[in-house]
Amino acid sequence: MIGPDALSRLTAQAVVPEQVLPYVQAVADSKPRIAGDCVGYLSEGTFVLVGYPLQDPLDEKAVRRSLEVVMRMPGLRKVIFIGPCDPPGISGVLSGARDAYYALPIPPPPPGQKLRNLLRRATREVSIERGGLPDHEHLAMIQDFLASHPVSPETRHIFSRLTRYLEISPTSLLLSGRLVNGRLAGFVVGEYASLTTAFFMFSFRNPELAPPGTSDLLLSGLLDEALKRGQIQMNMGLGINRGIRFFKEKWGAFPYLPHVQASWEPFSPGPIRRLLGYFRWGAAQKLVSSPGIRQDS
C-alpha cells in the first residue's frame, strides 16, 4: 500500500493522466502499487501497469523490470499494460490500437489568425466561471454527448465519476463557459497535480448553444492557470480521432509519448511461455479502456 507522502511524490512526477493517483482512484476504485519504476493499480485480481517509468517515460529497460515485478505478484488473474512500447519480453498478447499522447508547450505557440478570430468571438459571447462542481447542466451535457456518440462502457463509467474526481482531487479545476443568459455553453476540466505537466482531462460543449471558439476559450483558461503554476507543458490526451487531433494540432500540440495497450492472463491454465524466465499464461482477453481516455469536443 502506498502511503500519503509517497502518493504525493508519485503524482508530482506524473506525465500521463494515469499517473495522477487521485484521478485513477476516483474513476477505477483501485489501489495504487509501485512496480519497479512504474506505478500500477490493483483491483479484484486485475493489475493495470502504467508502463511509463517515473524517471524516464521512454526507458524500455525500466518497463521490462517493472513487468518482472508484476509477473511475480501472487494471485493475479489479468494484467493490463499501457506504455510507450509493446510489453517487452511478452509475445502473443492482445494489443489495442496504437495512439499517442499530445503535448502542448506552456506558454503555447502564438495562435494563428483563424484561432485568434475564434478566441475573439468567443470572448464577446462567453464568460468563464471558475471552480465548483458540475451542476445539472453539466451532467445533462454529458448525457447528451453519450446519447449521440458511440462510447465504450468503460468511458461511460469514467464520465459518471467526474463529480467524484473533482471532489477528491484538490488540484483539479472545472472551467464553465456561460452565455449572457447564464446557460452553459461548454466546460473543461484540467488537472495540475504534477510539478511539470498540466493535464487537459475533459472537454464538453453544447453544439446547439456554444458559439464558435467556445472550446478554445476554455482551453485558453486552463493554459493560463498552468502558466501561473509554473508548469512547462500540457498533456492534451490521446489523439483518438481525426477531429480531436485537429483541435490539438491547431494549438501547436504534437505527439510526444506513444501509447500502446495490451492485456493477458499471467497465470491461467495453458502452455508455459518465456518472460525473462518461465511463466504460465493463457490467451489474452478483450481490452478494457485505460483510465485516462477522454473525449474532447
**Given this model, what pLDDT does residue 267 score?**
61
| Same domain assignment for residues 110 and 244 | yes
Per-residue pLDDT of the chain (297 residues; tens, 9 = 90+): 455 566 678 899 999 999 999 899 899 888 899 999 999 999 999 999 999 999 999 999 999 999 999 999 999 999 999 999 999 988 667 777 799 999 999 999 999 999 999 999 999 999 999 999 999 999 999 999 999 999 999 899 999 999 999 999 999 999 999 999 999 999 999 999 999 999 999 999 999 999 999 999 999 999 999 999 999 999 999 999 999 999 999 999 999 999 999 999 886 544 333 333 322 222 222 223 333 334 444
The amino acid occupying position 44 is E
Contact 204, 169 (CB under 8 A): no
- Residue 186, in any domain of the structure: yes
Q: CATH number, domain at 176?
A: 3.40.630.30
Same domain membership, residue 264 and residue 198: no
User: Is 294 within a domain?
Assistant: no
Q: Are residues 75 and 213 in the same domain?
A: no
123 assigned to some structural domain: yes
Co-location of 128 and 208 in the same domain: yes
Q: To 5 degrees, how large is the angle CA 47–CA 49–CA 55?
A: 150
Q: What are phi and psi of 129, to 5 degrees?
A: -105, 125
Q: How many domains does the chain have?
A: 2
| Residue 64 domain boundaries | 4-100+257-280
The CA-atom distances, in angstroms, between 59 and each of 12, 64, 146, 248 are 19, 9, 37, 26
CB contact at 8 A, 289 and 115: no
Q: Beta strand pairing status for 197-205 and 233-238?
A: parallel
CATH number at residue 71: 3.40.630
